Structure 1
Amino acid sequence: MNSSRILSIDIMRGITLFLMLFVNDLYSPGVPKWLVHTQASDDGMGLADWVFPGFLFMVGLAIPYAIAARKKKGHDGFKIWVHILTRTLSLLLIGVLMVNISSLNPELTSMPAELWALLVYGCVFLIWNQYPRHSKNTRIFRLLRILGVVALVLLVVLFKAGTTENPEWLHTSWWGILGLIGWGYLSASATFVCTRGKFVGVIIVWLLFLILNILSQLGSLDGLNVLDPYIGVLLDGNIPTIVLSGLVVGMVVKKYKNNLVRLMGILVPIGVFFLILGAILHQYFIVSKILGTPSWAMYCSGISVFVFCMLFLVIDVLKWSAWTKLFLPAGQNSLTTYLAPDIIYYSIWGLGLNVFFYKQSESALLAICGSLAWAILMIGFAALLSKVHIKLKL
């Protein structure tokens, strides 16, 4: 396998995004438990509990390639750090804005939550859109980005939650999916850069975050709760552990991608190690996505390793890739694929349209088919946006 492009990376990212759209749309009580999120106090996991960590794993796996690409473009250490911090802050900001939509008070903000959300998403696309390069409309694109920034600032100023007697502003009770990705990306990227991509250094940092996750679950870090609203994701260790697991695998893949026997001889034991470690930790911690237990993190990382190995063999080694066309646009345009459906959601909710009839049915089959259709349509929607040069890039 001599091609420098590893298609399975894009495809696995696309598959996890497709499944994310699918499980996030599943709300019917008749749907099988193994498809939906497991309750926080339950010891177990279903498909929905693997999807997000599967994507986090791919965030880490792609980091060695992303850093190498920037170095190839001539970016020095300073520019790379600027990119890492800018991308992290962008993800945190968008994540916080998304999380606060549900708490908006329409009377205090002087507009419905759905309208505020749509305007925020519009600003996000104006600011972070990847406009065509070397275009005669460069000045227009610059003005659109400035317009997005100004409008977003106004929307943030206008935002009010709480009550008339006790008004509140934006809060970070949690950072949202994108915010969690941002913290995970920061921890893994900073680790990779600071250790200069050395396996031993990365593994030591991975172990430190795993220990933090264990200590956090034991309550040993409760004295640091005052820092939770700010760096709680890092102190908890769970998200960074998963992303760093992907980073370790990405470093192995980058080094041995052209030596299949050596590659699989390393990845398979890593996957087995994660699963065994998960089983050991399971003796002390339940498997819970909501609680972010270390056993859940290790089980998910092990599963992700084997899913990637399978995709690598099928797509990059055997070249059976015709079936991947559905997932490729999502894998190459992940942020747009994730955010664009929310524009449709809030438009439908704001207009009061009864489009999601399949969620009101007692038929599990109809609910599943409806959510699958939704996920396929949303991937197609993001692909269509990309064709008209609407593509988010942080």
Structure 2
Amino acid sequence: MKNNTSGIFSVRNKSIDILRALTMLLMIFVNDVWSVSGLPEWLGHAKWGQDMLGLADVVFPCFLFVVGMSIPYAIESRFAKGIDATDTIAHILTRSLALLIMGVYIVNTESGLSPESGMSFNLYRILMVAAFFLIWNVYPKTDKQHLKYTFSALKMAGLLLLLFLGIIFRDANGGILSPRWWGILGIIGWTYLICAFVYLFTRDRLRYLIPIWILLIIICILQTPMKEGQSILNLPGDNFFNAMLNILHINNGALSAFTMGGIILSLISARYRDVKKSQRLIFAFIVAFLFIIAGYITNEYWIISKLGETPPWVFYCTGIAIFTYSIIYWLDSTGKTTWAKIIEPAGKATLTCYLVPYVLYAIRFVESPEWFRNGFPGLINCILFSFFTIGITYLLGRIHIKLKI
């Protein structure tokens, strides 16, 4: 795992924080916009089997891309501080486990809550989020022993609360707590686990990382059903190849390809940061355009589908992510990102920002009037809710309530 060029990550890349914040803002927005009627179809998700790329279909892959961009900085920062590989492996495993646990709890509540659980749906979700914060909150550093004991007691209380909620859980059909499809956070956890380990053992060697990304794209092309209904690699349902992909949670490779793509872009961006801004921007635009062309070409054979994780979806969203990051990087390098201050908490306390809406929905005692959940007023409502969530995240940070795994 030795590396002689880890110094290229010694300078923090603020553009990644801005892209993460912008992506989280949009994620809150699209998660809220489903409740509004009378809006253009392109703002939401494409339905199963629909050949369309909605705004909501772009947000999650862009977030996975940002996760990948952050991985080299996070891992190299640990090595720069003298933290060894063993501790870094443990860190990757614990981060992934935390995301998996939170993802499982959240995705189970999406199936409703049976009266057998002994509490209301809203109370259950509030206690669930409270447990997350008790366990994974960034408690202030202190030398006072009684405060250390207090913080340890709070973490233990959160763990016991989460265990209690898991035991009593019954969904609307009587089902118990189970992985199901892992939820958004769980998917991020599995993808992060795979890609972080890949980077840990390859470091900044593009000669290994690029072929791995290409392999993921090839798997996506071979495994994804085409428009006529069959995939190119049309293997029987039970086979060793698919079994291994499922065990590793790679599936058809699409989601891991986004995160690996982010790692590669981060490496290239850091390695060539001394190149002229105009040249970097032109190169990035060319690469983004090539991905868009690849999406257009592959759309002849596959539909554009987030639910199907199809090749055109991967290519289009990768192109959009590269294009967006390049614009933000150029704006930041020219001092034109003061506008990003308002969404900064979403980039620095991203997990907190993601969980805040679950509490806000649960404590919403008064239903919005019908006219405020339809058309343009409903759209404004969603925008205001997104910024309100970021504001709550900022205020929580001021009183030392911030999740970090």
Mark yes or no: TM-score above 0.5: yes
Residues 272-304 of structure 1: CA distance to partner in whole angstroms, max 9, x if unpaired? 332222222212110011211121011001011
Q: Which of the numbers 187, 191, 194 marks the counterpart of 2:194?
A: 187
Query: Shift of the alpha carbon at 1:135?
Result: 5.0
Residues 82-139 of structure 1: CA distance to partner in whole angstroms, max 9, x if unpaired? 1111111111110010000133443222222222221111100000001111253222
Please give the residue correspondences for 1:237-248 in structure 2 after superposition, counting only pairs within 5 Å.
237-248=253-264
Q: How far, CA to CA, are the matches of 2:353 and 2:252 in structure 1?
A: 28
Q: How far, CA to CA, are the matches of 1:313 and 1:296 in structure 2?
A: 26
Which residue does 2:228 correspond to in 1? none
SS at 1:336 equivalent = helix
Tell me how many residue pairs correspond in the alignment: 384
Q: How far, CA to CA, are the matches of 2:106 and 2:84 in structure 1?
A: 33
The answer to whether the aligner puts 1:149 opposite 2:159 as a matched pair is yes
SS at 1:377 equivalent = helix
Which residue does 2:400 correspond to in 1? 389
Q: How far, CA to CA, are the matches of 2:248 and 2:87 in structure 1?
A: 27
Q: How far, CA to CA, are the matches of 1:358 and 1:263 in structure 2?
A: 49
Q: How far, CA to CA, are the matches of 1:51 and 1:151 in structure 2?
A: 32
User: Percent identity, aligned pairs only?
Assistant: 34
Q: How far, CA to CA, are the matches of 1:273 and 1:127 in structure 2?
A: 44
Q: Which of the numbers 345, 370, 378 marks the counterpart of 1:367?
A: 378
Query: Shift of the alpha carbon at 1:214?
Result: 2.2
**What is the alpha-carbon root mean square deviation over aligned residues?**
2.3
Q: Which of the numbers 100, 119, 123 marks the counterpart of 2:108?
A: 100
Query: Shift of the alpha carbon at 1:256?
Result: 1.5
> CA 1:197 to 1:75, structure 2 compared with 1: closer, same or farther past 3 Å?
same
Checking the alignment, whether the CA contact within 8 Å between 1:188 and 1:243 is kept in structure 2 is: yes
Q: How far, CA to CA, are the matches of 1:294 and 1:171 in structure 2?
A: 30
Checking the alignment, whether the CA contact within 8 Å between 2:356 and 2:393 is kept in structure 1 is: yes
**Greater helix proportion:** 1
Which residue does 1:40 correspond to in 2? 48
> CA 1:358 to 1:335, structure 2 compared with 1: closer, same or farther past 3 Å?
farther
Which residue does 1:215 correspond to in 2? 222
Unaligned stretches of 5+ in structure 1? none
Query: Shift of the alpha carbon at 1:229?
Result: 11
1:171 alignment partner AA: S
Query: Shift of the alpha carbon at 1:236?
Result: 2.2
> CA 1:374 to 1:197, structure 2 compared with 1: closer, same or farther past 3 Å?
same
Q: How far, CA to CA, are the matches of 1:260 and 1:108 in structure 2?
A: 63
Q: How far, CA to CA, are the matches of 1:194 and 1:230 in structure 2?
A: 22
The answer to whether the aligner puts 1:159 opposite 2:174 as a matched pair is no
Q: How far, CA to CA, are the matches of 2:18 and 2:246 in structure 1?
A: 33
> CA 1:170 to 1:359, structure 2 compared with 1: closer, same or farther past 3 Å?
farther
Query: Shift of the alpha carbon at 1:320?
Result: 1.1
Unaligned stretches of 5+ in structure 2? 1-8, 226-230
> CA 1:337 to 1:4, structure 2 compared with 1: closer, same or farther past 3 Å?
same
Q: How far, CA to CA, are the matches of 2:243 and 2:359 in structure 1?
A: 33
Q: Which of the numbers 12, 15, 28 marks the counterpart of 2:19?
A: 12
1:181 alignment partner AA: I
Q: How far, CA to CA, are the matches of 2:239 and 2:369 in structure 1?
A: 46
Query: Shift of the alpha carbon at 1:75?
Result: 1.1
2:45 alignment partner AA: H
Q: How far, CA to CA, are the matches of 1:53 and 1:207 in structure 2?
A: 17
Which residue does 1:66 correspond to in 2? 74
The answer to whether the aligner puts 1:335 opposite 2:351 as a matched pair is yes
Q: How far, CA to CA, are the matches of 1:387 and 1:14 in structure 2?
A: 18
Which residue does 2:274 correspond to in 1? 258
1:160 alignment partner AA: R
SS at 1:154 equivalent = helix
2:238 alignment partner AA: G
2:319 alignment partner AA: G
Q: How far, CA to CA, are the matches of 1:60 and 1:87 in structure 2?
A: 14
Query: Shift of the alpha carbon at 1:230?
Result: 6.2
Which residue does 1:297 correspond to in 2? 314
The answer to whether the aligner puts 1:347 opposite 2:363 as a matched pair is yes
Which residue does 1:378 correspond to in 2? 389
Q: How far, CA to CA, are the matches of 2:184 and 2:53 in structure 1?
A: 18
Q: TM-score, normalised by structure 1?
A: 0.91
Query: Shift of the alpha carbon at 1:195?
Result: 1.6
Q: How far, CA to CA, are the matches of 2:202 and 2:11 in structure 1?
A: 24
> CA 1:35 to 1:228, structure 2 compared with 1: closer, same or farther past 3 Å?
farther
Which residue does 1:76 correspond to in 2? 84
Which residue does 2:185 correspond to in 1? 178
Q: TM-score, normalised by structure 2?
A: 0.89
> CA 1:135 to 1:368, structure 2 compared with 1: closer, same or farther past 3 Å?
farther
The answer to whether the aligner puts 1:271 opposite 2:288 as a matched pair is yes
Q: Which of the numbers 230, 233, 250 marks the counterpart of 1:234?
A: 250
Query: Shift of the alpha carbon at 1:265?
Result: 5.5
Checking the alignment, whether the CA contact within 8 Å between 1:333 and 1:392 is kept in structure 2 is: yes
Q: How far, CA to CA, are the matches of 1:205 and 1:121 in structure 2?
A: 36
Query: Shift of the alpha carbon at 1:260?
Result: 3.2
Q: How far, CA to CA, are the matches of 1:119 and 1:25 in structure 2?
A: 21
Checking the alignment, whether the CA contact within 8 Å between 1:12 and 1:308 is kept in structure 2 is: yes
Which residue does 1:286 correspond to in 2? 303
Please give the residue correspondences for 1:96-135 in structure 2 after superposition, counting only pairs within 5 Å.
96-135=104-143
